Amino acid sequence: MTENFLPRLHRFAAARFSPEGEYGLYLTAGVAMLLVAMAVFAQMAGAVVAGAPITQLDVEVANWLHAHARTDNLLRQVLLVVTHVHSTPGILILALCVGIWLYRKSHRYWIVALVASVPGGQILNVLLKHTFERARPHFAEPLLELSTYSFPSGHAMGATVLYGFIACYAARHARSLAGRVLPFVLALAMVATVAFSRMYLGVHYLSDVLAAFAEGCGWLAICITGAATLNRRKRARERRASAAVEQQDI
């Protein structure tokens, strides 16, 4: 029995790490990213719920940023623009522009992944906010006042999904190593800017944006991996059908 099991295990592992096939390396990488993101998010959520030391760090960082935000008018105005552009309507408008580009390129499965990841991610974030019901930072003289919940950050999650999606698309079609790495560097910079704007303006804690980043990475992994798997399965079916027709003609 062991003699039969080991070859099957080897074939299974080889298939999971092969760049070819319906359930190869793409699916393996997507599942791995999902599991890591879920673990990080669960750790952050557990710490927030339990009042772990990171919540004290949250308050200290929030107070320090709020004090500086009240004295630096130029940076505050710039970050206000950043945060408004990446509101829910702003993210959806940016995603629509990306969707139009993909439609013109006839990239059907990328559009499926985009629709699932960005609007779907916004819905997921609302559900999580109402699950944890964490109050936003409170200040005597707030720069912004919002009545919604704080954990996790919707702006940071939306930016992670949108710019992460664009980075994946650009890297997939790049022809060099630099072209595959640079999109992710730029995406990370954009996400960090959006996350910082939310903390600087006093509407989110540090743990809110960190958890949102993990949430966004996990959700994006599901959406892109799912769309890619559907696309690869379709191609595999087409190849099998073509091979069957050729076999009949022989």
Active site residues: 155, 204
Q: How far is CA 58 from the centre of its chain?
A: 22
**Among 130, 132, 145, CA closest to 45:** 132
The DSSP result for 123-164, as a single string, is: HHHHHHHHHH-PPPP--SS-S----S--SS-HHHHHHHHHHH
| Strand residues in 43-134 grouped as ranges (E) | none
Which stretch of DSSP H or E encloses residue 188? helix 177-200
3-state secondary structure 47-106: HHHHCCHHHHHHHHHHHHHHHHHCCCHHHHHHHHHHHHHCCHHHHHHHHHHHHHHHHHCC
Who contacts 119 (Cβ-Cβ below 8 Å, separation ≥6)?
A: 92, 95
Nearest-angstrom CA–CA distance, 153 and 155: 6
Distances (CA, A) of 114 to 130, 217, 244: 24, 14, 34
Nearest-angstrom CA–CA distance, 102 and 26: 21
| Residue tagged 């720069």 (tokens) | 143
